[in-house]
Amino acid sequence: MCIQSLNMPKIMAATNLVWTVFLSFLLSASLAVSVAPKRPVDVPFSRNYMPTWAFDHINYINGGSEIQLKLDKYTGTGFQSKGSYLFGHFSMHIKMVPGDSAGTVTAFYLSSQNSEHDEIDFEFLGNRTGQPYILQTNVFTGGKGDREQRIYLWFDPTKAYHRYSVLWNMHQIVFFVDNVPIRVFKNSKDLGVRYPFNQPMKVYNSLWNADDWATRGGLEKTDWSKAPFLASYKGFHIDGCEASVQAKFCATQGKRWWDQKQFRDLDPQQYRRLQWVRNKYTIYNYCTDRVRFPTIPPECKRDRDI
């Protein structure tokens, strides 16, 4: 009894230390998870989407859990969300056109329905066999775009599906590739920059011919002997606040997971990943183009693009 009583304080201290370390680990783990977008829920095509044009150029696979868009010399095709949304998290698994894809564009984007439209763009620009795809992103606010950024991807997007996502709330728009942030566009209304907040957007996906500009500024034309070109889609995740086209606010504003404080900015790890993309894979950034923009666009400083 004497020996046990002498060691008890040390045992209790050791136990408390273990619990402290364990609880700290749980806390840090929960914080790490909390700043990542909520895990997407993959659903069949028909749950959230419908064809837009050239219906006969869409192939349905595995009961509609996967589709292929077909482009030939006659037409491309596309699809759009059934609903319109004010804020949310939107993602798509896409496998790009394999082989010689020069002149083609595979797109995944959000857009409002009026002349002064808001738009959030992923555009994948095809290339000659053996050359990498270029991913172009853009943000339109109040009808103004010209905010192009281009990167090379760090993998071959034709070999397997990869997830491309948009997180959009009142504070920021974040573009993700496989959960790696590749671009952020912060709300800079206080700097005189329009921000998309009161125009609901639909989600669009399409495959089309753009050989007047897509590959080397239009120097490389689509080789129709390689047609049909096929891009594959699955996942079809939408987690947004559905609203009518005329709506100016979301009824659940401030109550959804993407509205919470931890999603108002990237966390330090996400900024490190973003910087990695900028340093290694960025090939064009409008923020650093002094020919087009002699004066640095004000949002670029807030987005940490310069």
Q: How many CB atoms lie within 10 A of CB 106?
A: 28
**Best CA proximity match to 264, nearest among 187, 176, 199:** 187
pLDDT in tens, the chain (306 residues): 433 333 444 444 444 444 444 434 443 343 344 367 999 999 999 999 999 999 999 999 999 999 999 999 999 999 999 999 999 999 999 999 999 999 999 999 999 988 789 999 999 999 998 899 999 999 999 999 999 999 999 999 999 999 999 999 999 999 999 999 999 999 999 999 999 999 999 999 999 999 999 999 999 999 999 999 999 999 999 999 998 878 888 888 889 999 999 999 999 999 999 999 999 999 999 999 999 999 999 999 988 887
Strand 202-209 vs strand 119-125: parallel, antiparallel, or unpaired?
Answer: unpaired
Location of structure tokens 């969300």 = 81
The pLDDT, as a whole number, for residue 26 is: 40
CA distance 122 to 142: 18
CA 165 to chain centre: 3
**Parent domain of 110:** 45-302
Q: Kindly state whether residue 40 falls inside one of the protein's structural domains.
A: no
CA distance 218 to 103: 7
CATH of the domain at 118: 2.60.120.200
Q: Is 123 a catalytic residue?
A: yes
Task: Given the residues 66, 123, 148, 242, select the one marked as catalytic.
Answer: 123
The pLDDT, as a whole number, for residue 9 is: 45
Q: Kindly state whether residue 294 falls inside one of the protein's structural domains.
A: yes
Amino acid, single-letter form, for residue 49: Y
Based on the structure, what is the number of domains in the chain? 1
Q: Which two tokens stand for residue 176?
A: 């993700």
Q: Kindly state whether residue 14 falls inside one of the protein's structural domains.
A: no
Q: Kindly state whether residue 6 falls inside one of the protein's structural domains.
A: no
Q: How many CB atoms lie within 10 A of CB 50?
A: 11
Q: Kindly state whether residue 34 falls inside one of the protein's structural domains.
A: no
Q: How far is CA 293 from CA 26, 185, 216, 279, 281, in A?
A: 47, 17, 21, 21, 22
The pLDDT, as a whole number, for residue 226 is: 95
284 Cβ neighbours under 8 A, 6+ residues apart: 148, 149, 150
Q: Kindly state whether residue 23 falls inside one of the protein's structural domains.
A: no
- Starting at the earlier edge strand, list the strands of the sheet with 119-125: 49-53, 77-81, 202-209, 104-111, 119-125, 134-140, 149-152, 282-285
Task: Given the residues 119, 148, 220, 242, select the one marked as catalytic.
Answer: 119
Q: Kindly state whether residue 282 falls inside one of the protein's structural domains.
A: yes
pTM for the complete prediction? 0.87
- H/E/C letters for each residue in 196-238? CCCCCEEEEEEEEECCCCCCHHHCCCCCHHHCCEEEEEEEEEE
Question: What's the distance, Cα to Cα, between the start and end of the chain in Å?
Answer: 69
Quote the strand ranges of the chain, DSSP E: 49-53, 58-61, 66-71, 77-81, 84-95, 104-111, 119-125, 134-140, 149-152, 162-168, 172-177, 180-186, 202-209, 229-243, 282-285
The pLDDT, as a whole number, for residue 34 is: 39
Q: Kindly state whether residue 144 falls inside one of the protein's structural domains.
A: yes
CA distance 277 to 282: 7
